[in-house]
Structure 1
Amino acid sequence: MWNCKYCIFNSEKRGEILKHYRLKHGGHTKIVPFPCPHQDCLCTFKSISNLQVHLSKIHAKEHSEHASKVPPLVFKCQHCEFSEPCTETDFLRHLRSRHLRANENIHCPYRGCTFQTRVYATFNSHKSKTHSENDRRMLKPEIISGNSEGNDNDEIEPVSLDEVEIEDSEDQLNEESSDFVIQLEHNLAGIFLKMQSILHIPASSVQNIIQELTEIHKLSFPLVLKSVSTVLSKHYPDVDDSLVTEVVNAVSESNVFSRCCDTGGCLSTIKKRNSFVLNEFPVVMPVEYMLPGGEKPYVYVPIQPALQAMLNKTDILDKALTVQECVSNGYTSYRDGYYFKENSLLNGDEFKIALGLYIDDFEVANPLGTSRGKHKMCAVYWVLANIAAKYRSTLHSIQLALLCNTSTVKVYGYKTIMQPLLRDLVHLEQTGLYIDQLGATVKGTVLYVSADNLGAHSLAGFFESFTVERFCRFCMASRNETQHTEVGTGNFEPRTVDMHNRHIEEVKQDPSLSKLYGVKGSCPLTDALQHFHAVTGYPPDILHDLFEGVVPVELCLCLSDMIEKKYFSLDSVNHAIKTFGYTFSDKTNQPQPIPKGFASKGSIGGNGHENWTLLRLLPLIVGDNVPEGESSWEILMLLKDIVELAVASKHTDESIHDLGCKIAEHRELLQSTFPDFRLKPKHHFMEHYPQLIKAFGPLSDVWTLRFEGKHKFFKKVIRESQNFKNVPLTLAVKHQRMMAYYLDSSSFFRPSVEMEKVKTAMVASFPGHVQQQFHQIAPQLNTVLVASSLMVEGIKYSADMVISAGSCSGLPEFQQISQIVAVNSEILFVCKKMSAWYTEHLRSYELCSSHFSTLCVVKVSELNEVSPLSGYIVKGRMLVTPKRFIFC
């Protein structure tokens, strides 16, 4: 039995699975690739043709063995002495080649059918239309009998014609044919939707393409007529021209594209296609709201139907429920933070909806001069926090809630703009949302709001200027105190819920107290919701605090000092940055040269990805030029340590304590080396990280990095459409149509494991100890699948990457991937063992291997850190520098 890996469809025939993939899942290969139907095979493919090649090369033997398990049946021909054990296909081939080719009259071999013909093509047409499903049980009992061993399960008892409901059979066939046509129409509409919402082709261009293709189809009618006439003339020398025309017309009318896209078809115009999408796809359209005074409108995408559309997809709900059942040691998700545990609504055994919001302003057109800010938008996104961070980080998992001009927010404020969102959130918290898949009403609330510091303070009611005396939303520290006292000393009183509520009430009575408390007003979310508060709901943002804050500032400060000390020049640094041999993911995020005027600006600039890569690879780029003990260099290396710990996807009490010690050491060295340097507010925010990890869980789960990537979709839409008449509505409609396409797909997420460019290898070709580990999984295994690359939960692995598994003397062990092997459904890395030792000056590991290094086998589950590393050769040494802290 072959089973579809995306739905409940199954069939005894592999060909039916391929047909099912084409029809049901073929329109979504950009999202969901075609998986191999063999249950133990993890390979995926971008097209059916690639899958078929894989099946013929890799699984030909398994297919023949599968077919051989079907007991042979004896077929008896009614027109000759043929009587042999064979398959239904072989028997039909006999009828065609032995009798129809000889122009002999034959009777249809299927039950209840009186059709007869002597024409080869007519028989094929009848077979495909009336008996499209190959099923030996539907053959006449006088034609087929059980196997020689007398398998009772395959013997077919004679059935009288009275027992066969011919009309019901015809109705069923008509119903199946109708369903097939409906599915094809849906697939065709999905292609047009993909062209507009995913490929960003304007609707007018799609209409033009449809019209041109329809016209070409009409112009090809004479060619089809000639071809059909030629074929029929071979069998009917005196065939009537009217019959040929009728056949061609029937063929043309059965063409789904022609029927749907020709004049009057259900997909023939832009309006009809939009109507079809609204009726047949799970689209949640935005609602436009007008403000008093005729100001620019804003749009809101109702969160309740959007949540229902998501949670009624089985794969999304399954992942949400899986997280609900996870129990971990340490801090691996928000569920381990004490803010979640203190939330009386969310913390419990019952499934509750936890939402993560994000708010930010962005330019859709990046204009210059006087037009700057004209089309600056304020966006509110949300994610279903119940699913694991690795799944909700995909851009189509991030949903749109609100979109409006930033100028509108400044005039009317967040409370007015967010009113429809707040109304739905209150309903979710107090009444709940009915989920069909669960058959129950589920309550939920907002767990956190991710934002940069400006956005967080603006929405939460704190001062947006960081030059005020009380600028921190986490504690009551003053500006001057932060320059002399570190957060870890415990001298700063943390903000609490009761304290903040008291401050809000006092500020309402006496607005002059706002500067004393650092509070301007209340948070709209806090006012509306019972289980969300401004003090506990706004986590820090690593992206803006570190990668676009502390890191570029300190790189500027320390590099200027080392250039002044002539360890290297700016030109030599930039030359090294340009010529460094970046590999794998570092190629995408490679840093840009440092601008010449960086010292006067006080920052090297650059985006977060580039600054992260530069700080991580700087030891390999220029580290050998700096003498050991240089304080400026040590500041950067301590900052590198802090970054690795801050972005870690899991934490223990020991790693949190280590982070606090690193931050304190870094601060002390920074102030002693540069006594005139004033710490930035983001330095102070960074000092709160150890305590905030205990409150929110890993900070990389709640940062804004992936949300920032969502802006690219809207920028691309406005660039392609060039429609500025009603920007919020234009962007929101296009986004919701895009989400309808993804929600309509077979699976909302890509497969957990994807393998491509797979070939077979003999187990005997591997060393003996590697063979033994293969045989522990599959004792009778003779061949394995070897892939050139592998994707596991969105992380790519390929040969020559360095991974870490195991430990020795408290340090992680490293291996270099030689081959990626699949043994049944188990992924194994066949690796070279590497000797490793830590180089303190470069904060990197030096690896060493030899031609005689033994191979080892590593499972994905055994990795210390899932992110693979790049091994760089620097002056004859192989060095690797971690992205995140490696727990071992």
Structure 2
Amino acid sequence: MYKDCTYKTNVYVNFKSHKHRRHSGASDFKPGIVENKILNSGSESFRSISCDISDDEHVDPAIDSDPVNLEKEIELKLALVLLKLENIYLVSNRATDELLQELSYLIGLSLPITQKTLTEILQEHSCEFDQSIVEKLANALCESNAIKKALGHKGPLSTAWRRKSYFKRHFNVVEPVEFVLDPKEKKTFQYVSILKSLQQILECQTVLDQARNLNDTYELNQPTEQNGAFFKENDFLCQQKSISLILYVDDFEICNPLGTSRRKHKICGIYWVRGNLPPLYHSSLSSIYLAALIKSDDLKSFGYENVLKPLINDLVILEQSGIFVSKLGRTVKGRVQCVVADNLGAHSIAGFVENFTGSHVCRFCTAETVQIQTTEVNSGCFCLRTKEIHEEHLRQLQDNGLANYYGVKKQCTLSKHLSYFDVTSGFPPDIVRDLFEGIVPFELSLCLSVYGPDNNEHMRTICG
């Protein structure tokens, strides 16, 4: 990947070692390896999610002549660095406090050096001076240091509590809201407003430049990375300048030393990412945002209909009214493109049966389990679910009072309230669980069972 370098390897450790020995700090990549984009290092990414200073109001410390503005800018920059330490590099508050105390102490140690420098300059210019005045001047210079004032005693960034208060005052922090499910049992869940988060994110010009189908300069007929058939055939996404959202639902276990499947402290997390972004940003953690956290037991007891109510209310507003983006000078609407979840989560939200040992267990087709096990997919025997077929199944379910019909148990929570969400196309398969944790290890185990220890030649071929 470097110019005039012929080294090749498929092992990351070897590449890392070669890069450290031969190309440490080098940036002479071959053409086409790196895509150059104009991005402000560090601060712009933070401004896109939290900072209330717009790009036009940003003050460059190198050219600013107002000491007051310069001091505030330094304080803000320092706050952004500390925010990056705590939220990106996951440095604990205790470690950050100790680091800042030591830094403040080191700044205080520079007082004798400052006195010596002032004395030498005055002597060099043959100025008469009183040493006590030099000491006072040096002390004033050290105390007026913007970093020392921010980190010193009672400084706005000196403790974790003060830093948190500073972030709330100066950054547009979207805080979670607690919703009560059962006041008697004290059953609650946390929700972070999607509308408020989008409002802050779309105030960043860098985000708008990356977004597809939002800018006025974007042409629908130009080649784009959004080349999927679903995107091209969707009138709402193609004909309107709109926001596309992809929801992700998954359970995870916390605080349980007994194992990951004990369900003692299992929590369901709902996340979202903007579908308008180029693919290379989809898996970036900085592009994924939290929407809600609910205990899995509470979700099972109260159902998605009750738990998703604040989320659905925001999505309905986004779909019907939209949000005003000041950078674009207009209102932008949005819709849910799809929901990514494992089979159990997808069936729960979509209203399909959650028992995968029944006769109809597939949310993509109406084939029976026996057909799935014995018939090839390309045989033409599988009838894919469509919007019309699903509506007919719901009608049969309601008219006849059945528990389920062709695997349909109830109406989808999202399609019930959202006009542009289709249950038959809104729950794509999850590549991680269906392939990487599903069929791929199963197929590999079959291959290894055939090319087992008895056939060493084949094993050496497989294992390299």
Question: Are the aligned partners of 2:256 and 2:264 in contact in 1 as well (CA < 8 Å)?
Answer: no
- Structure 1 distance, partners of 2:203, 2:275, is 16
Within the candidate set 553, 556, 563, 2:442 is matched to 553
2:270 maps to 1:376: no
* SS at 2:211 equivalent: helix
- Structure 1 distance, partners of 2:260, 2:174, is 36
Within the candidate set 166, 186, 193, 1:276 is matched to 166
TM-score by length of 2: 0.79
- 2:146 is matched with 256
In the TM superposition, what whole-angstrom CA distance separates every residue of 1:7-57 from its partner, at most 9, and x where no partner exists? xxxxxxxxxxxxxxxxxxxxxxxxxx9x99xxxx9999xxx9xxxxxxxxx
> What pairs with 1:436-515 in structure 2 (closer than 5 Å)?
436-514=326-404
> What pairs with 1:865-876 in structure 2 (closer than 5 Å)?
none
- 1:204 is matched with 94
Question: Are the aligned partners of 2:122 and 2:128 in contact in 1 as well (CA < 8 Å)?
Answer: no
* SS at 2:451 equivalent: helix
In structure 1, give the amino acid aligned to 2:440: V
TM-aligned CA distance change 1:360 to 1:43, over 3 Å: closer
Residue 448 of structure 1 and its aligned partner are, at CA, apart by: 0.8
Residue 247 of structure 1 and its aligned partner are, at CA, apart by: 1.8
Within the candidate set 180, 185, 209, 1:318 is matched to 209
TM-aligned CA distance change 1:42 to 1:396, over 3 Å: closer
- 2:44 is matched with none
In the TM superposition, what whole-angstrom CA distance separates every residue of 1:739-785 from its partner, at most 9, and x where no partner exists? xxxxxxxxxxxxxxxxxxxxxxxxxxxxxxxxxxxxxxxxxxxxxxx
2:425 maps to 1:531: no
2:93 maps to 1:228: no
> What pairs with 1:322-361 in structure 2 (closer than 5 Å)?
325=219, 327=221, 336-337=228-229, 339-341=230-232, 343-348=234-239, 350-361=240-251
In structure 2, give the amino acid aligned to 1:528: H
> What pairs with 1:854-865 in structure 2 (closer than 5 Å)?
none
Question: Are the aligned partners of 1:295 and 1:408 in contact in 2 as well (CA < 8 Å)?
Answer: no
Question: Are the aligned partners of 1:343 and 1:531 in contact in 2 as well (CA < 8 Å)?
Answer: no
Residue 212 of structure 1 and its aligned partner are, at CA, apart by: 3.4
Question: Are the aligned partners of 2:226 and 2:278 in contact in 1 as well (CA < 8 Å)?
Answer: no
> What pairs with 1:373-452 in structure 2 (closer than 5 Å)?
373-452=263-342
> What pairs with 1:523-602 in structure 2 (closer than 5 Å)?
523-563=412-452, 566-568=454-456, 573=459, 576=460
Deviates further, 314-323 or 538-547: 314-323
In structure 2, give the amino acid aligned to 1:205: A
Within the candidate set 411, 424, 441, 1:522 is matched to 411
In the TM superposition, what whole-angstrom CA distance separates every residue of 1:493-521 from its partner, at most 9, and x where no partner exists? 2212122123224334545441x411222
Residue 309 of structure 1 and its aligned partner are, at CA, apart by: 1.9
Task: Count residues with an aligned counterpart.
Answer: 410
Residue 351 of structure 1 and its aligned partner are, at CA, apart by: 0.6
Within the candidate set 103, 106, 125, 1:213 is matched to 103
In structure 2, give the amino acid aligned to 1:276: Y
Question: Are the aligned partners of 1:311 and 1:435 in contact in 2 as well (CA < 8 Å)?
Answer: yes
In structure 2, give the amino acid aligned to 1:353: I
- 2:50 is matched with none
TM-score by length of 1: 0.43
In structure 2, give the amino acid aligned to 1:535: T
Structure 1 residue runs of 5 or longer lacking an equivalent are: 1-32, 49-131, 134-171, 577-617, 623-888
- Structure 2 distance, partners of 1:260, 1:370, is 43
In the TM superposition, what whole-angstrom CA distance separates every residue of 1:432-483 from its partner, at most 9, and x where no partner exists? 1111111001111101111222221121111222211101111110011123
Residue 205 of structure 1 and its aligned partner are, at CA, apart by: 2.9
Within the candidate set 146, 154, 157, 1:267 is matched to 157
* SS at 2:456 equivalent: coil
Within the candidate set 63, 79, 85, 1:189 is matched to 79
- Structure 2 distance, partners of 1:216, 1:357, is 47
Residue 195 of structure 1 and its aligned partner are, at CA, apart by: 2.0
- 1:163 is matched with none
* SS at 1:446 equivalent: strand
- Structure 2 distance, partners of 1:347, 1:498, is 23
Question: Are the aligned partners of 1:361 and 1:377 in contact in 2 as well (CA < 8 Å)?
Answer: yes
Question: Are the aligned partners of 2:213 and 2:242 in contact in 1 as well (CA < 8 Å)?
Answer: no
TM-aligned CA distance change 1:333 to 1:543, over 3 Å: farther
In structure 1, give the amino acid aligned to 2:315: L
In structure 2, give the amino acid aligned to 1:464: E
Structure 2 residue runs of 5 or longer lacking an equivalent are: 1-24, 29-33, 42-61
> What pairs with 1:747-758 in structure 2 (closer than 5 Å)?
none
Pair member with larger Rg: 1
Question: Are the aligned partners of 2:299 and 2:307 in contact in 1 as well (CA < 8 Å)?
Answer: yes
Residue 230 of structure 1 and its aligned partner are, at CA, apart by: 4.4
- Structure 1 distance, partners of 2:441, 2:36, is 42
Question: Are the aligned partners of 2:212 and 2:278 in contact in 1 as well (CA < 8 Å)?
Answer: no
In structure 2, give the amino acid aligned to 1:563: G
In structure 1, give the amino acid aligned to 2:94: S
In structure 1, give the amino acid aligned to 2:188: P
Residue 532 of structure 1 and its aligned partner are, at CA, apart by: 0.2
Residue 297 of structure 1 and its aligned partner are, at CA, apart by: 2.7
- Structure 1 distance, partners of 2:324, 2:36, is 37
- Structure 1 distance, partners of 2:175, 2:222, is 39
- 2:20 is matched with none
* SS at 2:149 equivalent: helix
Residue 555 of structure 1 and its aligned partner are, at CA, apart by: 1.7
In structure 1, give the amino acid aligned to 2:136: E
Identity %: 39
In the TM superposition, what whole-angstrom CA distance separates every residue of 1:264-309 from its partner, at most 9, and x where no partner exists? 3222333322122123224322222222133443211111121122
Residue 341 of structure 1 and its aligned partner are, at CA, apart by: 4.9
Question: Are the aligned partners of 1:344 and 1:531 in contact in 2 as well (CA < 8 Å)?
Answer: no
Question: Are the aligned partners of 2:251 and 2:268 in contact in 1 as well (CA < 8 Å)?
Answer: yes
* SS at 1:517 equivalent: coil
Question: Are the aligned partners of 1:470 and 1:479 in contact in 2 as well (CA < 8 Å)?
Answer: yes
Higher percent of residues as strand: 1
- Structure 2 distance, partners of 1:256, 1:215, is 14
- Structure 2 distance, partners of 1:346, 1:496, is 20
- Structure 2 distance, partners of 1:334, 1:206, is 42
In structure 1, give the amino acid aligned to 2:265: H
TM-aligned CA distance change 1:377 to 1:325, over 3 Å: farther
Q: Which has the higher contact order (CA 8 A, sep 6+)?
A: 1
- Structure 2 distance, partners of 1:177, 1:370, is 55
* SS at 1:345 equivalent: helix
- Structure 2 distance, partners of 1:541, 1:355, is 17
- 1:584 is matched with none
In structure 2, give the amino acid aligned to 1:532: F
Residue 333 of structure 1 and its aligned partner are, at CA, apart by: 5.8
In the TM superposition, what whole-angstrom CA distance separates every residue of 1:418-439 from its partner, at most 9, and x where no partner exists? 1111000000011111111110
In structure 2, give the amino acid aligned to 1:568: N
* SS at 2:347 equivalent: helix
In the TM superposition, what whole-angstrom CA distance separates every residue of 1:50-90 from its partner, at most 9, and x where no partner exists? xxxxxxxxxxxxxxxxxxxxxxxxxxxxxxxxxxxxxxxxx
